Amino acid sequence: MSGASTTDAVTDAALARETKSDRTLHALIFVGLAMAVAIAPFLLYPVLVMKILCFALFALAFNLLLGYGGLLSFGHAAFFGMAGYVCAYAAKVWGLTPELAILCGTAVSALLGFVLGSLAIRRQGIYFAMITLALAQMIYFISLQAKFTGGEDGIQGVPRGKLFGLLDISSDLALYAVTAVIFFAGFLAIYRIIHSPFGQVLRAIRDNEPRMISLGYRVGRYKLIVFVLSATIAGLAGSTKALVFQLASLTDVHWAMSGEVVLVTLVGGMGTVFGPVAGAAVIVAMETYLAQFGASVMIMQGSVFVVCVMLFREGIVGRLARLFRVSL
Amino acid sequence: MFRQVWLAAVLTAPVTMALAQTPVKIGILNDRTGVYADFSGPGAVVAAHLAVEDFKALDKGLDVTIVFADHQNKPDVGAAIARQWYDSDGVDAIFDVPTSSVALAVSQITRDKNKAFVVSGAGTAELTGKQCSPNTVHWTYDTYALANVTGGALVKQGGDSWFFITADYAFGQALERDTSAVVVRNGGKVLGSVKTPFPNSDFSSALLQAQGSGAKVVGLANAGGDTVNSIKQAGEFGITESGQKLAALLADLATIHTLTAKVAQGLVLTEPFYWDQNDGTRAFSKRFSAAFDGKKPTSPQAGVYAGVLHYLKAVAALKSAKDGAAVVAKMKDIPTDDPLFGKGSIRVDGRTLHNMYLFEVKKPGESTDPWDLYKTLATVPGAEAFRPLSEGGCPLAAK
């Protein structure tokens, strides 16, 4: 990724310069985003916005690993999809309440992240990517064969249930509120991680690993922690999506989903705080609206990706950040 | 003054109501660009338009609009479109929906929203089994019927020893299991089977095992790209020329047309419809071809035509499309009758009963046209072809 290094240089410079005014700007954007999320279900179709939120959270988790940890995983669908299966199974077969089902999915995803991560972080660059892809393919074949996933039919008709056993969230708007809360919780957690001393160390490792080793940091541990964190939040997104659509299927563990999250992150802006959200909105909206026109969605997505890479390599938000000389 | 206006409004209201057309909005949801695009795809929309035309909907007080979308074979995309259609776009019924996982999701949503769903492209027998719904009708075919007809009819014609090449996942295994049961029940025997990874591109070792087994019939328990690859390679190995029969448990006209008669010759398969069966199917196919680049209709496309026609009959009888369960109940009341599937009926679990046919792909010498592909080996009436009501486990049948 020779193109990425210049991008990194830009964002790094921006981040190094990150000042109080940047923090204020971020706070303002968060408030704006919260307001947009609050009014969106009345302007757009709520299920569509929920899908965008789930994908945005997934991409944010991925961006944490790629943009800040410098680790390109080609197997993130394993966490997203497997968490969805576990959450759907817990809600449907065990009859757990939605928050416990989501917790189950997220926990399994964290565990999976720990196992896969401990193997994958031993290598770097393309080898890291290939190992994650290979491990994710194993998860895909397990999902295809295992009894509890329902094979190619998936798990269907998952009940949305009652939150904490009290609040009925079967209506779209009630579930929307829950999804929005989960999204912001995840987003703020990631924001906090990025701006913590841990996040600083992470970026330093991304930029110059040998130097960090010589400074006495246990680089492997940091990488493993960020991998597990990323897998956990990806699992949170996958679990929520399973409840939103009331199904879990092979689509979410397929390698194409791993590719899609890379696409979303790059289109939005890798290594930016808000990029993945913008990317998710663009890609999901395309997937949905183009379907109605009968255009070939894949070709359109591909073209958008090519245009993005050719014209603004740093993604939509990365480009804006450079234009206004702020860190976003 | 106000009183007069109010009175006038009350008096004229029923009159204008009677004159107004009943609006009906139909959504065709399928794969328009992926692996099932030729199987149903845009052709299904053409078929739906022809059905509306033939029904003379406007004369019968129905104002029908048709919308369509591409679900990209992803259940979440399909589910999102279905929800949006029902919730905000005023769609009353969804048709077609190939890919089992998407169809099951749409069936669930249709039930929650009390609309109507007529499946044509999807094959899973679950739709009329444990996951059956009072809002869903399953037209055209299902995997049980394919296994049942291909297995049963072939054994009766002397193909009494079988070897399976099975895609190693739930669907392939179910297909092998169902067909094996039928073969054994009809007095045949299964000599063995080999599992291939899914998806797979190299079937040579599996085909050599099948050849070596000495079985009279080689059954392909796979779908999509696997079926295409295995048929192609079976052609290269000369399976059918050496006297074994090759039976595809899930294949369709569009696939065979792409493969051509030269490659697929001698292949045996089950379908509910073939364009060149009688005057009715030929007349329809001619109009269909004229509207759709000279292509002939496939079974799912024919199923969409027949499904839309029958759905409109039920809506016209009720004069409203709003209550999906009521429309589907009416569809079950009225016997089905159309030029493509003939006379039939819809069972309480939502299964449409019509004839199924065992076809053999013609040899290149017998085929006069790229679409002249099948000759009929056997006709199986719907009541024998489809799964008996009592075995499906559908809760609606228990009542």
DSSP string covering A96-125:
--HHHHHHHHHHHHHHHHHHHHHHHTTS-H
Residue B18 is predicted with a pLDDT of 47
Q: Based on C-alpha coordinates, what's the Rg of chain A?
A: 19
Do the domain assignments include residue B313? yes
Q: Which of A172, A150, A165 is nearest to A96 (CA)?
A: A165
Is residue B29 located within the same domain as residue B175?
Answer: no
Q: B299-324, pLDDT tens digit by residue? A: 999 999 999 999 999 999 999 999 99
Q: What is the Cα B108 distance to its own chain's centre?
A: 19
Q: Which of B272, B217, B275 is nearest to B246 (CA)?
A: B217
Mean pLDDT of B145-156: 93
Is residue B112 located within the same domain as residue B243?
Answer: no
Separation CA A267–CA A317 (nearest Å): 9
For B97, the domain range is: 2-141+278-350
Whether B7 has a pLDDT exceeding 50, the answer reads: no
- Subunit contact A156:B76, Cβ cutoff 8 A: no
Kind of pairing between the strands at A162-163 and A167-168 = antiparallel
Mean pLDDT of A57-86: 95
Exposed / middle / buried, residue A168 (Cβ in 10 Å: 0-12, 13-18, 19+): exposed
- Higher-confidence position of B305 and A304: B305
Mean pLDDT of A239-248: 94
Q: For chain B, which residues lie within 8 Å of any Cβ of chain A, measuring from their own Cβ?
A: 32-33, 42, 67-77, 79-81, 83-84, 87-88, 100-101, 104-105, 108, 124, 126, 131, 168-171, 198
Contact residues on chain A for B108, CB-CB shorter than 8 A: 156-157, 246-247
Is residue B38 located within the same domain as residue B133?
Answer: yes
Contact residues on chain B for A145, CB-CB shorter than 8 A: 168-170
A153 → closest Cβ in B77, B87, B104? B104
Separation CA A161–CA B302 (nearest Å): 40
Q: How confident is the model at residue A260 (pLDDT cuts 50, 70, 90)?
A: very high
Q: How confident is the model at residue B58 (pLDDT cuts 50, 70, 90)?
A: confident
Whether B287 has a pLDDT exceeding 90, the answer reads: yes
Percent of chain B scored above 90 by pLDDT? 76
Q: Which of B298, B270, B281, B297 is nearest to B342 (CA)?
A: B281
- Subunit contact A45:B81, Cβ cutoff 8 A: no
Contact residues on chain B for A48, CB-CB shorter than 8 A: 80, 84
Is residue B150 located within the same domain as residue B86?
Answer: no
Do the domain assignments include residue B396? no
For B173-180, which contacts have Cβ atoms below 8 Å and span 24 or more sequence positions? B173/B221, B174/B143, B175/B143, B175/B146, B175/B147, B175/B221, B175/B222, B175/B249, B175/B250, B176/B219, B176/B221, B178/B143, B178/B144, B178/B147, B178/B148, B178/B151, B179/B147, B179/B148, B179/B150, B179/B151, B179/B219, B179/B221, B179/B249, B180/B151
Whether A61 has a pLDDT exceeding 60, the answer reads: yes
Do the domain assignments include residue A81? yes
Contacts of B61 (CB under 8 A, 6+ apart): B21, B22, B316, B319
Separation CA A26–CA B265 (nearest Å): 66
Is residue B22 located within the same domain as residue B103?
Answer: yes
Whether B201 has a pLDDT exceeding 80, the answer reads: yes
Contact residues on chain B for A154, CB-CB shorter than 8 A: 75, 101, 104-105
- Higher-confidence position of B46 and A152: B46
Do the domain assignments include residue B315? yes
Contact residues on chain A for B32, CB-CB shorter than 8 A: 294, 296
Separation CA A242–CA A109 (nearest Å): 14
Is residue B35 located within the same domain as residue B117?
Answer: yes
Say if residues B274 and B253 touch (Cβ distance below 8 Å).
Answer: yes
Q: Which of B300, B272, B302, B252 is nearest to B50 (CA)?
A: B302
Residue A18 is predicted with a pLDDT of 63
DSSP class of residue B130?
Answer: T
CA distances from B141 to A36, A203, B365 (A): 46, 57, 30
- Subunit contact B105:A144, Cβ cutoff 8 A: no
**Considering its fold, how many domains does chain A have in total?**
1
Residue A164 is predicted with a pLDDT of 87
Residue A20 is predicted with a pLDDT of 77
Q: How confident is the model at residue B169 (pLDDT cuts 50, 70, 90)?
A: confident
Q: Say how many CA atoms lie within 13 Å of B82 toward its Cβ.
A: 32
Residue A146 is predicted with a pLDDT of 87
pTM of the model: 0.86
Residue A305 is predicted with a pLDDT of 83
Residue A328 is predicted with a pLDDT of 82
Do the domain assignments include residue A56? yes
Given CA atoms A324, A259, A179, A196 in this order, what sign does their dihedral have? negative
Is residue B129 located within the same domain as residue B150?
Answer: no
Whether A1 has a pLDDT exceeding 60, the answer reads: no
Is residue B293 located within the same domain as residue B338?
Answer: yes
Say if residues A241 and A175 touch (Cβ distance below 8 Å).
Answer: no
- The token pair at B215 is 């079985």
Contact residues on chain A for B42, CB-CB shorter than 8 A: 294
Note the residue count of chain A.
328
Q: Which of B359, B358, B351, B341 is nearest to B392 (CA)?
A: B351
Is residue B16 located within the same domain as residue B119?
Answer: yes
Q: Which of B286, B296, B288 is nearest to B47 (CA)?
A: B288
Do the domain assignments include residue A328? no
Is residue B136 located within the same domain as residue B11?
Answer: yes
**Considering its fold, how many domains does chain B have in total?**
2
Residue B245, domain CATH: 3.40.50.2300
CA distance A301 to chain B (A): 13
For A129-136, which contacts have Cβ atoms below 8 Å and span 24 or more sequence positions? A129/A72, A129/A73, A129/A74, A130/A74, A132/A73, A132/A74, A132/A75, A132/A76, A133/A74, A133/A75, A133/A255, A133/A258, A134/A75, A135/A75, A135/A78, A136/A74, A136/A75, A136/A76, A136/A77, A136/A78, A136/A253, A136/A255, A136/A258
Q: A4-38, pLDDT tens digit by residue? A: 444 444 455 445 556 778 889 999 999 999 999 99
- Subunit contact B81:A288, Cβ cutoff 8 A: yes
Separation CA A277–CA A315 (nearest Å): 12
B75 → closest Cβ in A154, A288, A297? A154
Q: B19-42, pLDDT tens digit by residue? A: 568 999 999 999 988 888 888 999
Residue B311 is predicted with a pLDDT of 96
Residue B17 is predicted with a pLDDT of 46
Do the domain assignments include residue B397? no
Do the domain assignments include residue B23? yes
Is residue B10 located within the same domain as residue B69?
Answer: yes
- Subunit contact B170:A150, Cβ cutoff 8 A: yes
A161 φ/ψ angles, rounded to the nearest 5 degrees: 70, -165
- Subunit contact B42:A294, Cβ cutoff 8 A: yes
- Subunit contact B79:A247, Cβ cutoff 8 A: yes
Kind of pairing between the strands at B217-221 and B189-196 = unpaired
For A272, the domain range is: 2-323
Is residue B70 located within the same domain as residue B199?
Answer: no
Q: 3-state SS of B221-253? A: ECCHHHHHHHHHHHHHHCCCCCCCEEEECCCCH
Do the domain assignments include residue B388? no
Residue B344 is predicted with a pLDDT of 94
**To 5 degrees, how large is the angle CA B49–CA B50–CA B55?**
100
Say if residues A276 and A63 touch (Cβ distance below 8 Å).
Answer: yes
Mean pLDDT of B208-212: 93
Separation CA A105–CA B330 (nearest Å): 43
Residue A294 is predicted with a pLDDT of 58
Q: How confident is the model at residue B59 (pLDDT cuts 50, 70, 90)?
A: confident
Exposed / middle / buried, residue A308 (Cβ in 10 Å: 0-12, 13-18, 19+): buried
Q: How confident is the model at residue B399 (pLDDT cuts 50, 70, 90)?
A: low
Do the domain assignments include residue A247? yes
Q: B352-390, pLDDT tens digit by residue? A: 999 999 999 999 999 999 999 999 999 999 999 999 999
Q: Where are the alpha helices (DSSP H) in A122-218?
A: 125-145, 172-194, 197-207, 209-214
Do the domain assignments include residue B395? no
Compare all CA atoms of chain A with the CA of B103 and give the residue at the minimum distance: A153
Q: How confident is the model at residue B16 (pLDDT cuts 50, 70, 90)?
A: very low
Residue A4 is predicted with a pLDDT of 45
Contact residues on chain A for B101, CB-CB shorter than 8 A: 152-154, 156, 247, 249-250
Do the domain assignments include residue B239? yes
